[in-house]
Amino acid sequence: MSYTTRLDISLSNKGTEARQKLFVQVLDEGLHVLAIDEQKQPVLYQLIDFDKDNLDQGTGLQTWLQEQAEWLKSWSSLVVIHHCQQATVVPELLFGNDNGKELLDSLYGDLFRGTMLTEKIPGRDDYSLYRIQTGTYLSLSAANGSVKQYHLFTAWLAWLEGIPESSNGDAYLLFENKKLAVAIRNNGWKMISQFEYQVPEDVSYFLLSALLHAGLSAETVAVHLDGWIEKDSAMYLELFKYIRNLETVTLPDSVQLDESLLNGQPVHFFTPLIEMSQCVS
C-alpha cells in the first residue's frame, strides 16, 4: 500500500457531499483532508501518510487520487493547498510574469523541472510564487469539476491578515512534520518564510534571529503555535526556554466543533486547514 489513512474523523452528518467543499493540503509526506459545509463548518477530517519508500516518485498521491476518484468528484468543489518548499512571497512592485522563474532559480537553483504557479494573496499587494511537479498539478486539476489550487502562503496569510496585531508584535509558527512556516509581524509583516529542520534547536535559533531582525523581543512578543506540535514535546520545551508569551492556536470563533470527536488529539493539530478554509474558496 503506497499510503495509509492515519485519521478519518466524522465531524458532522449534516448535508450532502454535492453541496459541500473539500480542502486537500498536499505535502511531500502525505495529505490533510477537510470537508466543510455551506456554513463553513467542518464535516470530516482525514490524515493520510504516504509510504516513505516512495516519496520521491509521488506514488502515494497518485494512488490516492486514483482510488478516491469517484469520491473526489462527488464534492461541489475541490480546493488544493500546496505545502511545497520551492515557494516565496513577492511584492507586487517586484513581480512580473516574465521574472518568476529567475526569482525561484535564485532561491532554489535551476534543476527543478515542473509547473510554476502564481496567485495574488487576498487583501495584500503580494503574490505567492511556487512550483510543483507537472504531473501533480495535472492530476489534481482533473480530480473534480471545480478545482482551485493555492500555495500555503496564500491561504495562510489571507487568514492571518484578519487577526488583530498584538501591541508587542506577533510570530506565527505552523508545524508540519519537520517543516516550519513562519510569519512575523511588527507594524506590518516583516517575514514570511518556511524551512525544514532536524532538531528543536534549529527552530529556536531561526526564530530568535528572525525576531531580532524584526526588532522584536523574545520577552514580550506573542508567539502563536499552530499545527503538529505537542505541549509536552522537546520542541515546545525548547521554545519555552526563550519565549515568555507562548500560546497554541484555538479554533476560529466562527467554527463550531465538538472537540471530543478529535480522538483525543489537541485541537491545534487541526486548526491550520480549518483556518484556511474560512478565507479561500
| Per-residue pLDDT reduced to its tens digit, 225-245 | 999 999 999 999 999 999 999
Rounded to an integer, the average pLDDT of 137-158 is: 97
Residue 50 and residue 2: Cα distance in Å, rounded? Answer: 6
Tell me the pairing of strands 189-196 and 179-185. Answer: antiparallel
Question: Does residue 75 register a pLDDT over 90?
Answer: yes
Q: Where are the alpha helices (DSSP H) in 182-253?
A: 200-213, 234-240
Cell 503538529 locates to 228
Task: Provide mean pLDDT across the span 176-189.
Answer: 95
Q: At what angle do helices 59-67 and 134-141 cross, to 10 degrees?
A: 10
55 pLDDT tier (thresholds 50, 70, 90): low
Q: Residue 239's CB: how many other CB atoms inside 10 A?
A: 21
In angstroms, the Cα distances linking 231 to 51, 172, 238, 259, 265 are 27, 16, 11, 17, 12
User: Residue 94: its pLDDT value, please?
Assistant: 84
pTM given for the model? 0.95
